[in-house]
Structure 1
Amino acid sequence: MGRVAKQLPEQGVIEAARDHLKQEGWAIVPNVLSESEASHVLKRLWAAKEASAARGESTHLPHLDPNDSNVRVFYLLELDEIFQELIVHPSAISLVQDVLGPQFLISNFTANIARPGSKSMALHSDQSIVVPPPWHESWALNVIWCLSDVHKDNGATLFIPGSNQYKTQADVPSNAPDLLVPFEAKAGSIILMDGRVWHTSGSNITDSEERALLFGYYTKGFLRQQINWTARLSEEIKEGLSEELKEWLGLGVAANTGRAGDIVYNYLEKQYPKKELVAAL
Protein backbone atom coordinates (compact mmCIF):
# COMPACT_ATOMS: atom_id res chain seq x y z
CA MET A 1 0.00 0.00 0.00
CA GLY A 2 1.47 3.33 -1.03
CA ARG A 3 -1.30 5.68 0.02
CA VAL A 4 -3.82 5.99 2.81
CA ALA A 5 -7.50 5.29 2.31
CA LYS A 6 -9.94 8.17 1.92
CA GLN A 7 -13.13 6.54 3.16
CA LEU A 8 -14.98 8.11 6.07
CA PRO A 9 -15.99 6.09 9.13
CA GLU A 10 -19.69 5.42 9.53
CA GLN A 11 -21.72 8.62 9.65
CA GLY A 12 -23.03 7.80 13.11
CA VAL A 13 -19.47 7.66 14.44
CA ILE A 14 -18.64 11.05 12.95
CA GLU A 15 -21.84 12.59 14.29
CA ALA A 16 -21.15 11.26 17.78
CA ALA A 17 -17.61 12.62 17.62
CA ARG A 18 -18.88 15.98 16.41
CA ASP A 19 -21.30 16.28 19.34
CA HIS A 20 -18.75 15.16 21.93
CA LEU A 21 -16.12 17.54 20.54
CA LYS A 22 -18.53 20.45 20.79
CA GLN A 23 -19.58 19.64 24.34
CA GLU A 24 -16.41 18.27 25.93
CA GLY A 25 -13.65 19.72 23.76
CA TRP A 26 -12.35 16.36 22.57
CA ALA A 27 -13.42 13.22 20.72
CA ILE A 28 -11.99 9.96 19.41
CA VAL A 29 -12.82 8.53 16.00
CA PRO A 30 -11.64 4.90 15.66
CA ASN A 31 -10.62 3.05 12.51
CA VAL A 32 -9.86 6.07 10.34
CA LEU A 33 -6.85 4.05 9.23
CA SER A 34 -6.70 0.28 9.16
CA GLU A 35 -4.12 -1.49 11.30
CA SER A 36 -1.95 -2.13 8.25
CA GLU A 37 -2.24 1.49 7.09
CA ALA A 38 -1.24 2.80 10.51
CA SER A 39 1.75 0.44 10.52
CA HIS A 40 2.72 1.61 7.04
CA VAL A 41 2.56 5.29 8.03
CA LEU A 42 4.65 4.51 11.11
CA LYS A 43 7.38 3.00 8.94
CA ARG A 44 7.31 6.10 6.75
CA LEU A 45 7.55 8.26 9.87
CA TRP A 46 10.73 6.53 11.02
CA ALA A 47 12.18 7.00 7.55
CA ALA A 48 11.22 10.68 7.74
CA LYS A 49 12.94 10.93 11.13
CA GLU A 50 16.15 9.57 9.63
CA ALA A 51 15.92 11.94 6.68
CA SER A 52 15.34 14.87 9.00
CA ALA A 53 18.29 13.95 11.21
CA ALA A 54 20.51 13.53 8.14
CA ARG A 55 19.75 17.14 7.20
CA GLY A 56 20.81 18.34 10.62
CA GLU A 57 17.32 18.91 12.04
CA SER A 58 17.09 18.29 15.77
CA THR A 59 14.75 15.52 16.92
CA HIS A 60 15.06 16.46 20.60
CA LEU A 61 14.17 19.87 22.00
CA PRO A 62 15.42 20.22 25.60
CA HIS A 63 13.06 23.12 26.31
CA LEU A 64 10.11 20.82 25.53
CA ASP A 65 11.17 17.37 26.68
CA PRO A 66 13.23 16.33 29.72
CA ASN A 67 15.24 13.72 27.79
CA ASP A 68 15.88 12.46 24.28
CA SER A 69 13.57 9.47 24.67
CA ASN A 70 10.96 11.79 23.19
CA VAL A 71 11.61 11.91 19.45
CA ARG A 72 10.11 14.84 17.57
CA VAL A 73 9.91 15.14 13.80
CA PHE A 74 9.09 18.53 12.29
CA TYR A 75 8.08 19.74 8.81
CA LEU A 76 6.37 16.46 7.94
CA LEU A 77 4.80 17.91 4.81
CA GLU A 78 8.17 18.17 3.09
CA LEU A 79 9.45 14.77 4.19
CA ASP A 80 6.91 12.39 2.64
CA GLU A 81 3.80 12.73 0.47
CA ILE A 82 1.89 10.42 2.78
CA PHE A 83 1.74 13.20 5.37
CA GLN A 84 0.30 15.55 2.74
CA GLU A 85 -2.51 13.03 2.36
CA LEU A 86 -3.18 12.70 6.07
CA ILE A 87 -3.36 16.44 6.75
CA VAL A 88 -6.27 16.73 4.26
CA HIS A 89 -7.97 13.42 5.11
CA PRO A 90 -11.77 13.83 4.81
CA SER A 91 -12.39 12.57 8.35
CA ALA A 92 -10.09 15.24 9.75
CA ILE A 93 -11.20 18.10 7.52
CA SER A 94 -14.89 17.47 8.16
CA LEU A 95 -14.42 17.94 11.90
CA VAL A 96 -11.93 20.79 11.51
CA GLN A 97 -14.49 22.75 9.51
CA ASP A 98 -17.18 22.04 12.10
CA VAL A 99 -15.04 23.74 14.74
CA LEU A 100 -13.15 26.41 12.80
CA GLY A 101 -15.39 27.04 9.80
CA PRO A 102 -14.36 26.94 6.13
CA GLN A 103 -11.68 29.64 6.44
CA PHE A 104 -9.01 27.75 8.39
CA LEU A 105 -5.26 27.32 8.04
CA ILE A 106 -2.88 24.43 8.65
CA SER A 107 -0.54 25.90 11.22
CA ASN A 108 1.76 22.93 11.81
CA PHE A 109 2.16 19.18 11.37
CA THR A 110 4.63 17.31 13.58
CA ALA A 111 5.30 13.91 15.14
CA ASN A 112 6.05 12.85 18.70
CA ILE A 113 7.38 9.36 19.37
CA ALA A 114 7.58 8.45 23.06
CA ARG A 115 10.13 5.71 23.63
CA PRO A 116 10.52 3.90 26.95
CA GLY A 117 11.82 6.33 29.55
CA SER A 118 10.33 9.45 27.98
CA LYS A 119 9.00 12.00 30.46
CA SER A 120 6.10 14.43 30.54
CA MET A 121 6.41 17.99 29.26
CA ALA A 122 4.86 21.13 30.78
CA LEU A 123 1.09 21.50 31.10
CA HIS A 124 -0.32 23.90 28.51
CA SER A 125 -3.12 24.61 26.06
CA ASP A 126 -2.18 25.22 22.44
CA GLN A 127 -4.55 28.15 22.07
CA SER A 128 -3.11 29.91 25.13
CA ILE A 129 0.28 29.99 23.38
CA VAL A 130 -0.96 31.94 20.37
CA VAL A 131 -4.05 33.81 21.63
CA PRO A 132 -4.21 36.07 24.72
CA PRO A 133 -7.06 35.48 27.19
CA PRO A 134 -9.96 35.39 27.58
CA TRP A 135 -10.58 32.27 25.48
CA HIS A 136 -14.30 32.39 24.80
CA GLU A 137 -14.33 30.17 21.72
CA SER A 138 -12.19 27.66 19.91
CA TRP A 139 -9.72 29.20 17.49
CA ALA A 140 -7.51 26.10 17.19
CA LEU A 141 -7.90 22.34 16.88
CA ASN A 142 -5.48 19.42 17.02
CA VAL A 143 -6.07 16.27 15.02
CA ILE A 144 -3.89 13.57 16.57
CA TRP A 145 -3.15 10.48 14.48
CA CYS A 146 -2.48 7.32 16.51
CA LEU A 147 0.05 5.19 14.63
CA SER A 148 0.31 2.75 17.54
CA ASP A 149 -2.00 1.72 20.35
CA VAL A 150 -2.00 4.53 22.90
CA HIS A 151 -2.54 4.08 26.64
CA LYS A 152 -1.47 5.68 29.89
CA ASP A 153 1.64 3.56 30.48
CA ASN A 154 3.21 4.15 27.05
CA GLY A 155 2.89 7.93 27.11
CA ALA A 156 -0.66 8.80 26.12
CA THR A 157 -1.44 12.51 26.00
CA LEU A 158 -2.87 13.55 29.37
CA PHE A 159 -5.60 16.19 29.61
CA ILE A 160 -7.88 17.91 32.11
CA PRO A 161 -11.55 17.12 31.36
CA GLY A 162 -13.62 20.28 31.08
CA SER A 163 -10.59 22.52 30.62
CA ASN A 164 -11.95 23.70 27.27
CA GLN A 165 -14.15 25.94 29.42
CA TYR A 166 -11.21 27.73 31.06
CA LYS A 167 -11.22 31.39 30.06
CA THR A 168 -7.88 32.45 31.58
CA GLN A 169 -4.82 30.78 33.08
CA ALA A 170 -6.18 31.67 36.52
CA ASP A 171 -8.91 29.08 35.90
CA VAL A 172 -6.34 26.27 35.89
CA PRO A 173 -6.64 24.72 39.39
CA SER A 174 -3.66 24.34 41.69
CA ASN A 175 -4.17 20.55 41.74
CA ALA A 176 -4.11 20.31 37.93
CA PRO A 177 -1.67 17.33 37.86
CA ASP A 178 -4.16 15.31 39.91
CA LEU A 179 -6.91 15.94 37.36
CA LEU A 180 -5.08 14.62 34.30
CA VAL A 181 -6.51 11.61 32.48
CA PRO A 182 -5.17 9.87 29.35
CA PHE A 183 -6.48 9.82 25.81
CA GLU A 184 -6.46 6.08 25.09
CA ALA A 185 -7.10 4.79 21.57
CA LYS A 186 -6.19 2.02 19.15
CA ALA A 187 -3.79 2.43 16.26
CA GLY A 188 -5.59 3.99 13.30
CA SER A 189 -7.74 6.27 15.45
CA ILE A 190 -7.73 10.05 15.42
CA ILE A 191 -8.12 12.14 18.56
CA LEU A 192 -9.69 15.59 18.17
CA MET A 193 -8.64 18.14 20.78
CA ASP A 194 -9.96 21.69 21.10
CA GLY A 195 -7.09 24.20 21.29
CA ARG A 196 -8.32 25.33 24.71
CA VAL A 197 -7.90 21.91 26.34
CA TRP A 198 -5.05 21.87 28.87
CA HIS A 199 -2.81 18.87 28.35
CA THR A 200 0.68 17.41 28.42
CA SER A 201 2.52 14.41 27.04
CA GLY A 202 2.52 11.37 29.29
CA SER A 203 5.55 9.43 30.51
CA ASN A 204 6.35 6.11 28.86
CA ILE A 205 6.97 3.72 31.74
CA THR A 206 6.89 0.53 29.65
CA ASP A 207 9.95 -1.60 28.98
CA SER A 208 9.65 -1.86 25.22
CA GLU A 209 6.61 -0.05 23.77
CA GLU A 210 6.97 2.98 21.52
CA ARG A 211 4.02 5.38 21.25
CA ALA A 212 3.83 7.29 17.95
CA LEU A 213 1.50 10.23 17.35
CA LEU A 214 1.14 12.81 14.59
CA PHE A 215 -0.19 16.26 15.50
CA GLY A 216 -2.03 18.21 12.83
CA TYR A 217 -2.58 21.72 14.19
CA TYR A 218 -5.30 23.81 12.50
CA THR A 219 -6.32 27.37 13.39
CA LYS A 220 -8.73 30.10 12.42
CA GLY A 221 -7.61 31.73 9.20
CA PHE A 222 -6.72 35.08 10.77
CA LEU A 223 -4.13 33.62 13.17
CA ARG A 224 -0.47 33.63 12.26
CA GLN A 225 0.73 30.10 11.51
CA GLN A 226 3.44 28.40 13.55
CA ILE A 227 5.23 27.52 10.31
CA ASN A 228 5.75 29.88 7.38
CA TRP A 229 5.08 27.28 4.70
CA THR A 230 5.91 29.71 1.90
CA ALA A 231 9.43 30.03 3.26
CA ARG A 232 9.82 26.42 4.41
CA LEU A 233 8.61 24.34 1.47
CA SER A 234 10.70 24.08 -1.68
CA GLU A 235 9.29 25.30 -4.96
CA GLU A 236 9.26 21.71 -6.21
CA ILE A 237 7.11 20.57 -3.30
CA LYS A 238 4.77 23.56 -3.55
CA GLU A 239 4.21 22.94 -7.26
CA GLY A 240 3.15 19.37 -6.52
CA LEU A 241 0.51 20.30 -3.94
CA SER A 242 -3.19 20.38 -4.72
CA GLU A 243 -4.80 23.82 -5.00
CA GLU A 244 -6.86 22.98 -1.93
CA LEU A 245 -3.80 22.21 0.17
CA LYS A 246 -2.04 25.34 -1.08
CA GLU A 247 -5.05 27.36 0.07
CA TRP A 248 -5.06 25.78 3.54
CA LEU A 249 -1.31 26.33 3.92
CA GLY A 250 -1.74 30.02 3.17
CA LEU A 251 0.57 29.88 0.14
CA GLY A 252 0.48 32.60 -2.47
CA VAL A 253 0.55 36.37 -2.48
CA ALA A 254 -2.71 36.88 -0.57
CA ALA A 255 -1.80 34.31 2.14
CA ASN A 256 -4.54 34.61 4.80
CA THR A 257 -5.95 37.95 3.63
CA GLY A 258 -9.73 38.12 3.80
CA ARG A 259 -10.16 35.09 6.04
CA ALA A 260 -11.76 36.96 8.93
CA GLY A 261 -15.12 37.51 7.27
CA ASP A 262 -16.91 38.13 3.99
CA ILE A 263 -14.34 38.14 1.20
CA VAL A 264 -16.78 39.53 -1.39
CA TYR A 265 -16.26 43.26 -1.85
CA ASN A 266 -19.64 44.96 -1.72
CA TYR A 267 -19.03 48.35 -3.27
CA LEU A 268 -21.06 51.34 -2.10
CA GLU A 269 -23.30 51.54 -5.15
CA LYS A 270 -24.13 47.82 -4.77
CA GLN A 271 -24.87 48.13 -1.08
CA TYR A 272 -26.95 51.28 -1.52
CA PRO A 273 -28.79 51.70 -4.85
CA LYS A 274 -28.60 55.27 -6.19
CA LYS A 275 -32.04 56.42 -4.97
CA GLU A 276 -31.26 55.19 -1.43
CA LEU A 277 -27.85 56.82 -1.50
CA VAL A 278 -29.33 60.18 -2.59
CA ALA A 279 -32.01 60.02 0.09
CA ALA A 280 -29.36 59.44 2.72
CA LEU A 281 -27.43 62.61 1.75
Structure 2
Amino acid sequence: MARLRIAASRQQLLEDGYTVLPEILAPELTAAVRAALEPHFGVEGWGRNEFEGTNTERVYSLLDKCPVVASLVEHEAVLALLDDHLRPSRLLAACQATRVHPGETPQDLHCDDDLPGTPRPRPPGSVSVMWTLSHYHPENGSTLLVPGSHIWAEARKPDASEVVSLDIPPGSALVWLGGVYHGAGPNLSDEFRDGINMIYFQPWLRQVENMTLVISPQRAAAFSETVQRLLGYSVVDGTFFGHVNGRDPIKLIPANHREDES
Protein backbone atom coordinates (compact mmCIF):
# COMPACT_ATOMS: atom_id res chain seq x y z
CA MET A 1 0.00 0.00 0.00
CA ALA A 2 2.83 2.42 0.88
CA ARG A 3 4.50 1.77 -2.48
CA LEU A 4 1.22 2.40 -4.30
CA ARG A 5 0.73 5.66 -2.42
CA ILE A 6 4.25 6.86 -3.26
CA ALA A 7 3.76 5.88 -6.91
CA ALA A 8 0.53 7.88 -7.07
CA SER A 9 2.23 10.85 -5.40
CA ARG A 10 5.12 10.71 -7.85
CA GLN A 11 2.68 10.81 -10.75
CA GLN A 12 0.68 13.70 -9.27
CA LEU A 13 3.86 15.68 -8.59
CA LEU A 14 4.89 15.22 -12.21
CA GLU A 15 1.50 16.17 -13.66
CA ASP A 16 0.09 18.74 -11.22
CA GLY A 17 3.35 20.03 -9.78
CA TYR A 18 2.36 19.18 -6.20
CA THR A 19 1.24 16.29 -4.02
CA VAL A 20 0.33 15.60 -0.39
CA LEU A 21 1.77 12.77 1.69
CA PRO A 22 -0.87 12.61 4.43
CA GLU A 23 0.04 11.85 8.04
CA ILE A 24 3.43 10.30 7.31
CA LEU A 25 4.86 11.47 10.64
CA ALA A 26 4.08 9.46 13.75
CA PRO A 27 2.04 11.57 16.20
CA GLU A 28 4.85 11.22 18.73
CA LEU A 29 7.36 12.75 16.32
CA THR A 30 5.01 15.59 15.40
CA ALA A 31 4.58 16.32 19.11
CA ALA A 32 8.34 16.20 19.69
CA VAL A 33 9.00 18.65 16.87
CA ARG A 34 6.33 21.03 18.16
CA ALA A 35 7.79 20.87 21.66
CA ALA A 36 11.29 21.61 20.36
CA LEU A 37 10.02 24.59 18.38
CA GLU A 38 7.88 26.17 21.06
CA PRO A 39 10.68 27.98 22.96
CA HIS A 40 11.73 29.71 19.73
CA PHE A 41 8.35 31.20 18.87
CA GLY A 42 7.88 34.60 20.45
CA VAL A 43 11.64 35.18 20.45
CA GLU A 44 12.74 35.84 16.88
CA GLY A 45 10.09 38.41 15.99
CA TRP A 46 7.58 39.00 13.22
CA GLY A 47 7.95 39.22 9.46
CA ARG A 48 9.31 42.58 8.31
CA ASN A 49 7.15 42.99 5.20
CA GLU A 50 4.01 41.69 3.52
CA PHE A 51 5.86 38.84 1.84
CA GLU A 52 7.31 37.52 5.11
CA GLY A 53 3.98 38.25 6.79
CA THR A 54 3.63 40.88 9.49
CA ASN A 55 1.43 38.47 11.47
CA THR A 56 3.80 35.56 10.93
CA GLU A 57 6.64 34.40 13.17
CA ARG A 58 9.61 32.72 11.51
CA VAL A 59 12.35 30.60 13.05
CA TYR A 60 15.39 30.38 10.76
CA SER A 61 18.43 28.06 10.85
CA LEU A 62 16.17 25.35 12.19
CA LEU A 63 18.62 22.43 12.21
CA ASP A 64 20.93 24.41 14.48
CA LYS A 65 18.13 25.18 16.94
CA CYS A 66 16.01 22.00 16.72
CA PRO A 67 18.13 19.01 15.61
CA VAL A 68 15.07 16.71 15.79
CA VAL A 69 14.01 18.30 12.49
CA ALA A 70 16.76 16.28 10.75
CA SER A 71 14.40 13.31 10.70
CA LEU A 72 12.07 15.35 8.49
CA VAL A 73 14.87 16.58 6.24
CA GLU A 74 15.83 12.99 5.38
CA HIS A 75 12.37 11.40 5.48
CA GLU A 76 12.44 8.50 3.03
CA ALA A 77 9.08 9.31 1.42
CA VAL A 78 10.18 12.85 0.61
CA LEU A 79 13.59 11.74 -0.66
CA ALA A 80 11.85 9.28 -2.99
CA LEU A 81 10.00 12.19 -4.60
CA LEU A 82 13.15 14.30 -4.84
CA ASP A 83 14.89 11.53 -6.77
CA ASP A 84 12.61 12.14 -9.77
CA HIS A 85 13.48 15.83 -10.09
CA LEU A 86 16.80 16.70 -8.41
CA ARG A 87 20.29 15.28 -8.72
CA PRO A 88 21.50 12.96 -5.93
CA SER A 89 23.88 15.64 -4.61
CA ARG A 90 21.00 18.10 -4.11
CA LEU A 91 21.23 20.71 -1.36
CA LEU A 92 18.98 21.75 1.48
CA ALA A 93 18.55 25.41 0.57
CA ALA A 94 16.14 26.51 3.31
CA CYS A 95 14.73 25.08 6.53
CA GLN A 96 12.53 27.31 8.64
CA ALA A 97 9.47 27.15 10.86
CA THR A 98 6.47 29.45 10.59
CA ARG A 99 3.64 30.30 12.94
CA VAL A 100 0.91 32.14 11.04
CA HIS A 101 -1.36 34.11 13.36
CA PRO A 102 -4.99 35.20 12.90
CA GLY A 103 -5.33 38.24 10.68
CA GLU A 104 -2.44 37.36 8.38
CA THR A 105 -3.04 38.48 4.80
CA PRO A 106 -2.41 36.33 1.69
CA GLN A 107 1.13 36.14 0.42
CA ASP A 108 1.78 37.07 -3.20
CA LEU A 109 1.83 34.02 -5.46
CA HIS A 110 5.38 33.21 -6.49
CA CYS A 111 7.71 30.41 -7.62
CA ASP A 112 10.64 29.18 -5.52
CA ASP A 113 13.04 28.76 -8.45
CA ASP A 114 12.05 31.95 -10.30
CA LEU A 115 15.51 33.41 -10.92
CA PRO A 116 16.46 35.95 -13.61
CA GLY A 117 17.63 34.37 -16.83
CA THR A 118 15.66 31.13 -16.39
CA PRO A 119 12.64 31.41 -18.72
CA ARG A 120 9.58 29.22 -18.25
CA PRO A 121 8.84 26.41 -18.70
CA ARG A 122 12.04 24.90 -17.34
CA PRO A 123 13.26 21.75 -15.57
CA PRO A 124 12.81 21.99 -11.80
CA GLY A 125 15.55 23.90 -10.04
CA SER A 126 14.04 23.15 -6.65
CA VAL A 127 11.49 21.08 -4.75
CA SER A 128 9.74 22.47 -1.67
CA VAL A 129 8.13 20.70 1.28
CA MET A 130 5.71 22.11 3.83
CA TRP A 131 5.42 19.92 6.91
CA THR A 132 2.12 20.57 8.64
CA LEU A 133 2.43 20.62 12.42
CA SER A 134 -1.13 21.94 12.72
CA HIS A 135 -4.28 21.15 10.77
CA TYR A 136 -4.00 23.21 7.57
CA HIS A 137 -7.31 24.25 6.03
CA PRO A 138 -8.62 27.14 3.92
CA GLU A 139 -9.90 29.16 6.88
CA ASN A 140 -6.54 29.32 8.68
CA GLY A 141 -4.59 30.02 5.51
CA SER A 142 -3.42 26.68 4.15
CA THR A 143 -0.81 27.02 1.39
CA LEU A 144 -2.32 28.26 -1.88
CA LEU A 145 -1.29 26.42 -5.04
CA VAL A 146 -1.94 26.67 -8.77
CA PRO A 147 -2.02 23.09 -10.10
CA GLY A 148 -0.14 22.55 -13.35
CA SER A 149 1.51 25.98 -13.33
CA HIS A 150 4.99 24.43 -13.40
CA ILE A 151 4.61 23.84 -17.15
CA TRP A 152 3.24 27.28 -18.00
CA ALA A 153 4.95 29.63 -20.44
CA GLU A 154 6.62 32.81 -19.20
CA ALA A 155 3.76 35.15 -20.11
CA ARG A 156 1.01 33.24 -18.33
CA LYS A 157 0.10 34.40 -14.83
CA PRO A 158 -2.33 32.74 -12.40
CA ASP A 159 -5.96 33.76 -12.15
CA ALA A 160 -7.83 33.62 -8.85
CA SER A 161 -10.10 30.90 -10.24
CA GLU A 162 -7.08 28.60 -10.72
CA VAL A 163 -5.88 28.75 -7.10
CA VAL A 164 -6.62 25.89 -4.70
CA SER A 165 -6.37 25.76 -0.89
CA LEU A 166 -5.99 22.29 0.58
CA ASP A 167 -7.21 20.63 3.76
CA ILE A 168 -4.18 18.81 5.21
CA PRO A 169 -3.98 16.98 8.56
CA PRO A 170 -1.07 17.44 10.99
CA GLY A 171 2.01 15.32 10.36
CA SER A 172 1.70 15.55 6.58
CA ALA A 173 4.06 16.74 3.85
CA LEU A 174 2.88 19.01 1.06
CA VAL A 175 5.45 18.77 -1.75
CA TRP A 176 5.64 21.02 -4.81
CA LEU A 177 8.02 21.73 -7.68
CA GLY A 178 9.91 25.01 -7.85
CA GLY A 179 7.98 26.24 -10.88
CA VAL A 180 4.57 26.02 -9.22
CA TYR A 181 2.88 29.28 -8.30
CA HIS A 182 2.04 29.22 -4.60
CA GLY A 183 1.80 31.36 -1.48
CA ALA A 184 0.58 31.35 2.09
CA GLY A 185 -3.15 31.87 2.39
CA PRO A 186 -4.88 34.44 4.64
CA ASN A 187 -5.59 33.32 8.19
CA LEU A 188 -9.26 34.15 8.71
CA SER A 189 -9.62 31.92 11.76
CA ASP A 190 -9.00 32.54 15.47
CA GLU A 191 -6.13 30.03 15.62
CA PHE A 192 -2.51 30.05 14.56
CA ARG A 193 -1.04 27.34 12.36
CA ASP A 194 2.48 25.93 12.58
CA GLY A 195 4.56 24.43 9.83
CA ILE A 196 8.10 23.77 8.67
CA ASN A 197 9.12 24.80 5.17
CA MET A 198 12.08 23.18 3.43
CA ILE A 199 13.47 23.87 -0.02
CA TYR A 200 15.88 21.52 -1.79
CA PHE A 201 17.98 22.87 -4.68
CA GLN A 202 19.81 21.36 -7.60
CA PRO A 203 23.49 21.18 -6.59
CA TRP A 204 25.14 22.86 -9.52
CA LEU A 205 24.51 26.55 -8.76
CA ARG A 206 27.27 27.09 -6.21
CA GLN A 207 30.95 27.86 -5.89
CA VAL A 208 33.70 25.43 -6.87
CA GLU A 209 35.41 26.33 -3.58
CA ASN A 210 33.23 26.87 -0.50
CA MET A 211 34.56 30.36 0.16
CA THR A 212 32.58 31.17 3.31
CA LEU A 213 34.08 28.12 5.03
CA VAL A 214 37.58 28.86 3.75
CA ILE A 215 37.44 32.57 4.68
CA SER A 216 35.89 33.13 8.12
CA PRO A 217 33.93 36.32 8.90
CA GLN A 218 36.89 37.50 11.00
CA ARG A 219 39.33 36.94 8.12
CA ALA A 220 36.94 38.48 5.60
CA ALA A 221 36.96 41.71 7.62
CA ALA A 222 40.39 42.44 6.10
CA PHE A 223 38.93 42.70 2.60
CA SER A 224 36.76 45.27 0.86
CA GLU A 225 33.00 44.85 0.82
CA THR A 226 33.23 44.02 -2.88
CA VAL A 227 35.48 41.04 -2.12
CA GLN A 228 33.36 40.04 0.87
CA ARG A 229 30.25 39.81 -1.29
CA LEU A 230 32.10 37.91 -4.02
CA LEU A 231 33.16 35.37 -1.40
CA GLY A 232 29.49 34.71 -0.65
CA TYR A 233 28.79 37.05 2.26
CA SER A 234 25.74 38.36 0.43
CA VAL A 235 22.22 37.63 -0.73
CA VAL A 236 21.21 37.33 -4.38
CA ASP A 237 20.02 40.75 -5.49
CA GLY A 238 16.25 41.03 -5.36
CA THR A 239 15.85 37.82 -3.30
CA PHE A 240 16.45 36.33 0.15
CA PHE A 241 18.76 33.65 -1.27
CA GLY A 242 21.81 33.33 0.93
CA HIS A 243 20.43 34.87 4.14
CA VAL A 244 21.46 33.87 7.68
CA ASN A 245 18.64 34.02 10.22
CA GLY A 246 16.78 36.35 7.88
CA ARG A 247 19.69 38.82 7.57
CA ASP A 248 22.28 39.66 4.93
CA PRO A 249 25.42 37.63 5.84
CA ILE A 250 27.59 40.67 5.15
CA LYS A 251 26.52 41.70 8.68
CA LEU A 252 28.29 38.65 10.13
CA ILE A 253 31.60 40.31 9.35
CA PRO A 254 32.67 42.22 12.49
CA ALA A 255 33.50 45.52 10.79
CA ASN A 256 30.11 45.54 9.03
CA HIS A 257 27.94 44.63 12.02
CA ARG A 258 25.32 47.15 13.09
CA GLU A 259 22.81 46.30 15.82
CA ASP A 260 20.19 48.63 14.37
CA GLU A 261 20.24 47.03 10.91
CA SER A 262 17.63 44.41 9.94
TM-score (normalizing by structure 1): 0.69
Q: In structure 1, what is the equivalent of residue 175 of structure 2?
A: 192
Which SS does the other structure have where 1:98 is aligned? coil
1:103 matched residue in structure 2: 89
CA contact (8 A) 2:96 2:198 kept: yes
The alignment status of 1:20 with 2:6, answered yes or no, reads: no
Q: Which residue of 1 aligns with 2:119?
A: 133
Give, in angstroms, the shift of residue 66 of structure 1: 4.7
- Corresponding residue number in structure 1 for 2:100: 114
Q: Which residue, 179, 186, 189 being the options, matches 2:162? A: 179
The one-letter amino acid paired with 1:214 is I
Q: What's the offset of the Cα at 1:39?
A: 2.6
- Residues 244-268 of structure 1: per-residue CA shift (max 9 Å, x gap): xxxxxxxxxxxxxxxxxxxxxxxxx
Match of 1:221 in 2: 203
Higher helix share: 1
1:155–1:205 Cα contact (<8 Å) kept? yes
1:91–1:66 CA distance, 2 compared to 1 (3 A)? closer
Q: How far off its partner does 1:171 sit? A: 1.2
Post-superposition offset of 1:113: 1.4
Separation (CA, whole Å) in 1 of partners of 2:60 and 2:49: 15
Deviating beyond 3 angstroms after TM superposition, the runs of 4 or more aligned structure 1 residues are 228-231
**Matched position secondary structure for 2:9:** helix
Q: 1:121 deviation in Å?
A: 1.5
Amino acid at match of 2:156: D
Q: Is the 8 A contact 2:100 2:193 kept in 1?
A: yes
Aligned partners of 2:116, 2:39: CA distance in 1, in Å? 31
How far apart in 2 are the matches of 1:25 and 1:19?
Answer: 9
2 CA distance for matches of 1:165 and 1:84?
31
**Equivalent residue for 1:44?**
36
- Paired residue type of 1:95: L
Verify the 8 A CA contact 2:99 2:192 in the aligned structure 1.
yes
User: What's the offset of the Cα at 1:97?
Assistant: 1.6
Do 1:113 and 1:213's aligned partners in 2 also have CA atoms closer than 8 Å?
A: yes
The residue that corresponds to 1:61 in the other structure is 48
2:153 corresponds to 1:153: no
CA contact under 8 A between 2:15 and 2:148: conserved in structure 1? no
Quote how far apart the aligned CAs of 1:158 are: 0.5
**Distance apart, 1:43 and its partner CA:** 2.1
User: Which residue of 2 is the match for residue 242 of structure 1?
Assistant: none
| Partners of 1:30 and 1:189 within 8 A in 2 | yes
* Rounded Cα–Cα distance in structure 2 between residues aligned with 1:21 and 1:230: 35
Number of the residue aligned with 2:189: 206
SS in structure 2 of the partner of residue 106 of structure 1: strand
Matched residue pairs, number?
Answer: 212
Q: Give RMSD over aligned pairs.
A: 2.4
Which residue identity lines up with residue 195 of structure 1 in the other structure? G
- TM-score scaled by length of structure 2: 0.74
Paired-residue identity, %: 28
Distance in 1 (CA, whole Å) between partners of 2:86 and 2:61 is 23
- Deviation per residue, 1:154-212 (Å, 9 max, x gap): 110111121111232x2114xx23321113211011011010000111011112x2211
CA distance in 1, matches of 2:156, 2:143: 21
How far does the alpha carbon of each residue in 1:31-81 deviate from its partner, in whole angstroms, 9 at most, with x for none? 21123322321222222335xx3xxx44422252452x2111111011011
Supply the distance in 2 between the matched residues of 1:89 and 1:64 (Cα, whole angstroms). Answer: 28
Runs (5+) with no aligned partner, structure 2: 217-262
Conserved? CA contact 1:112–1:214, under 8 Å: yes
Task: Say which one has the larger Rg.
Answer: 1
Distance 1:179 1:38, change over 3 A: same
For 1:187, the aligned partner's letter is P
Separation of aligned partners in 1, 2:97 and 2:201: 18
- Whole-Å Cα distance in 1 between the matches of residues 87 and 119 of structure 2? 21
